[in-house]
Structure 1
């Protein structure tokens, strides 16, 4: 039977002012971002326009490139791909973070469903955190409606346990790499933490439990990013922001925003949304501990960036830190952040000196950070001097928030 032309995809191409060849080029570029090779050309696009349904992973790639080009969400139905899912997991800010955390960890641990996570694409649209979002003064009054389980107990011991586990997982990732740790952390979040979050508790305890869950989720997202699972990392970071908002945890909210911005910068997305995340993180950290504020400083022009860097160093000198991925910021990490800022500003000599200082200050326990810092130093030495670009958040190196995210 004759195929029905895909008039919706035609309309989107016209709105995007793209030819078939330009769409094919954008699809190949996006696939390469995710470590995939896509054989796609103008003739293939013509077949889709004539009514042929593209095979996975093309539908997910197609929706993301059109979303980026048109700067608005484009769903499967919008593109005439009604038989393709518009999204693997809900990245809207209205979604229930506890339910999504349960769904993500369940799929992450199930070999039969893990392919769903790989089918997702890193979304630039999801970087736009609503301007009205900020940590609540009061956490939700009870268990999340429609959540996966309604049993379990939680008290101060469980809240303390979550803080200890965050430190254990962060130290293990630093010593052995994120790929050996993230599955265990996903299991802990999916099997234990989601149960704690649904138990009856006082308002103060609910706040501590959600705060701990947000920190563990940031940590897991950062491990996924270090392992090359960028779309999954974004889902976890997105969920962590929501949990921090519900917990009224300004510090973790700032760290999660800053981590999302650094991840986007790492992937080469120097977009206004990524820059806005960095600036909102800096604003949110104003009332946080100095160590958090030192981590969150970031701006997008030369003068503001140098000012923020100086402020970060002053805040670091004032900080009283304690062991843990969200309360400790190593001196080597501060020098790494300085190097990234100077490199972005075009000061190659300054960046080289800062990276050398960072390596000198690394402790034997900072194995992954030392390795990645050496790699960055080699890149800096091999990179020809170029004109400075605008200054988004310094990029990351696959590390957890304060101790590893900026290694």
Structure 2
């Protein structure tokens, strides 16, 4: 867990949009000062050196970010956001308060995809500092739970007719991308899924379709965009991942597809937990449970309870974690083979066992003596069972299982076992491209510090250090 370092990084996003509209540093400084003067804002004294500092990563004070946003939006002809420019919004402006309308959903997703496809692959962990948390994230999402049912009408703009065969093709493509992500991680396939999402958005914007097809098309688009968000998260692109998730949630609301919406929210919850915000993760799970009530399948309900167990353990609420774990196991007994949605294919019994096993491992770190030993044993048994039953194509999950066992062994003081499982995880890094995995290795590196005085503990940390450096 824990936030990425907030060291000052060059603002590649601001530089990109300045380049797109041929904006020099002097001209941006002049236009910002002029726009501020027109609004009665004096004393800005913006000059070329200030702009150079922003490009190097300095954060301008209010109201300068708003003035920069207004200037570059006017120059590019695009409805840019603070996040597009790598700048913080002003107080109360979260960047995700978009209207829950069809037009806004298409515009938001299109803007994100266009921007991401054009930007070079140079951003670093500092992007995670742009992720919204707490009230700024959760309050705008509350409307999803109460979003109106589909009330669409046939599309009338000129364009080729879209039917259910096209929708089924999108769903098949989405399943293919999911399989690639599960096998090798999201890093390698992310650009391809973004390009495919852009193509689907053109169908929504320009195609002609009936109400029934339109609803199915929006649902398929939401699911595909959710995969794009997930791959961005797995690649460590946290800001773009969150914005894509939010826009995908809007698309799910347009389709009145609460199941896809709840699935997107659980993805967002995992991201919040990964970035060290377990309370926000719990709130997102609760929103998914409430908004999807009476519509969620047994597997989806079990998964949300399992995530609740893990997040409660992170906070240290061990009894609440165990209660949620019990509900997850009880609900999974109701799952019928072949009756679940395609986006739930990943959540099988090994996945449930692995999630609950990690909840026990995390809980053990909050406990002492026999209680700690009990949770370590339960964690080891569950994660080992998960690893033994994993399909071979679930390579990333297997890497996480080995990592989970390594952390469980450390929690029980077994450094030799931790070193063995860590080595097995590291052997998989060639076929698995996932920043989440390397982030977890970084956590294991810190957890092994108390054992650094031993030869095994020191060797374990050196292995991790070399492997993680090789992936940067």
- Could you tell me how far apart the structure 1 residues matched to 2:98 and 2:66 are? 23
Match of 1:94 in 2: 99
Match of 2:298 in 1: 290
- Could you tell me how far apart the structure 2 residues matched to 1:163 and 1:397 are? 26
Give ranges in structure 1 of 5+ residues lacking alignment: 1-28, 40-48, 64-75, 386-395, 400-407
Instruction: Please say if residues 204 and 218 of structure 2, whose CA atoms lie closer than 8 Å, have aligned partners that are also in contact.
Output: no
Question: What is the alpha-carbon root mean square deviation over aligned residues?
Answer: 3.5
Instruction: Please say if residues 182 and 393 of structure 2, whose CA atoms lie closer than 8 Å, have aligned partners that are also in contact.
Output: yes
**Within-5 A mapping of 1:386-405:** none
Match of 1:55 in 2: 54
CA shift, 1:215, in A, is 1.0
1:267 to 260, 266, 275: 275
CA shift, 1:117, in A, is 12
**Within-5 A mapping of 1:27-38:** 32=5
Match of 1:359 in 2: 387
SS across alignment from 2:131: coil
1:382 to 390, 401, 410: 410
**Within-5 A mapping of 1:2-401:** 32=5, 53=50, 54-56=53-55, 58=57, 62=59, 77-78=62-63, 80-85=64-69, 87-89=82-84, 90-94=95-99, 96-111=104-119, 121-124=130-133, 125-134=136-145, 135-141=147-153, 151-196=159-204, 198-271=206-279, 273-287=280-294, 288-297=296-305, 298=308, 300=312, 301-322=317-338, 324-346=342-364, 347-383=375-411
Decide whether aligned partners of structure 1 residues 81 and 99 sit closer, same or farther in structure 2, where only a CA change above 3 A counts. closer
Decide whether aligned partners of structure 1 residues 354 and 380 sit closer, same or farther in structure 2, where only a CA change above 3 A counts. same
- Could you tell me how far apart the structure 1 residues matched to 2:199 and 2:124 are? 20
Instruction: Please say if residues 335 and 357 of structure 1, whose CA atoms lie closer than 8 Å, have aligned partners that are also in contact.
Output: yes
- Could you tell me how far apart the structure 1 residues matched to 2:45 and 2:192 are? 47
Instruction: Please say if residues 88 and 116 of structure 1, whose CA atoms lie closer than 8 Å, have aligned partners that are also in contact.
Output: no
SS across alignment from 2:142: coil
CA shift, 1:398, in A, is 5.2
- Could you tell me how far apart the structure 1 residues matched to 2:184 and 2:224 are? 18
CA shift, 1:31, in A, is 6.1
CA shift, 1:277, in A, is 0.9
Instruction: Please say if residues 139 and 248 of structure 1, whose CA atoms lie closer than 8 Å, have aligned partners that are also in contact.
Output: no
- Could you tell me how far apart the structure 2 residues matched to 1:306 and 1:238 are? 30
User: What's the TM-score once normalised by structure 1's chain length?
Assistant: 0.70
- The more displaced of 320-329 and 232-241 is 320-329
- Could you tell me how far apart the structure 2 residues matched to 1:140 and 1:92 are? 22
- Could you tell me how far apart the structure 2 residues matched to 1:319 and 1:81 are? 50
Decide whether aligned partners of structure 1 residues 132 and 324 sit closer, same or farther in structure 2, where only a CA change above 3 A counts. closer
- Could you tell me how far apart the structure 2 residues matched to 1:369 and 1:397 are? 13
Instruction: Please say if residues 169 and 185 of structure 1, whose CA atoms lie closer than 8 Å, have aligned partners that are also in contact.
Output: yes
CA shift, 1:222, in A, is 0.9
- Could you tell me how far apart the structure 2 residues matched to 1:304 and 1:158 are? 45
Decide whether aligned partners of structure 1 residues 275 and 84 sit closer, same or farther in structure 2, where only a CA change above 3 A counts. farther
Give ranges in structure 2 of 5+ residues lacking alignment: 11-43, 70-80, 85-94, 365-374, 414-433, 438-472
CA shift, 1:57, in A, is 6.0
Instruction: Please say if residues 31 and 38 of structure 1, whose CA atoms lie closer than 8 Å, have aligned partners that are also in contact.
Output: no
CA shift, 1:180, in A, is 1.5
CA shift, 1:238, in A, is 0.9
Decide whether aligned partners of structure 1 residues 194 and 353 sit closer, same or farther in structure 2, where only a CA change above 3 A counts. farther
Match of 1:72 in 2: none
- Could you tell me how far apart the structure 2 residues matched to 1:351 and 1:91 are? 38
- The more displaced of 345-354 and 321-330 is 321-330
Identify, as 1 or 2, the structure richer in helix: 2
- Could you tell me how far apart the structure 2 residues matched to 1:123 and 1:258 are? 16
Length, aligned pairs only: 330
CA shift, 1:186, in A, is 0.6
**Residues 154-195 of structure 1, C-alpha deviations (whole Å, 9 max, x = no match):** 211111112111111111122232111111111111023442
Decide whether aligned partners of structure 1 residues 324 and 195 sit closer, same or farther in structure 2, where only a CA change above 3 A counts. same
Decide whether aligned partners of structure 1 residues 112 and 150 sit closer, same or farther in structure 2, where only a CA change above 3 A counts. farther
**Residues 109-166 of structure 1, C-alpha deviations (whole Å, 9 max, x = no match):** 224698799868222223434433324322444669xxxx973432111111121111
- Could you tell me how far apart the structure 2 residues matched to 1:217 and 1:226 are? 14
SS across alignment from 1:364: coil
Decide whether aligned partners of structure 1 residues 139 and 56 sit closer, same or farther in structure 2, where only a CA change above 3 A counts. farther
**Residues 10-69 of structure 1, C-alpha deviations (whole Å, 9 max, x = no match):** xxxxxxxxxxxxxxxxxxx96616xx5659xxxxxxxxx99884423635xx58xxxxxx
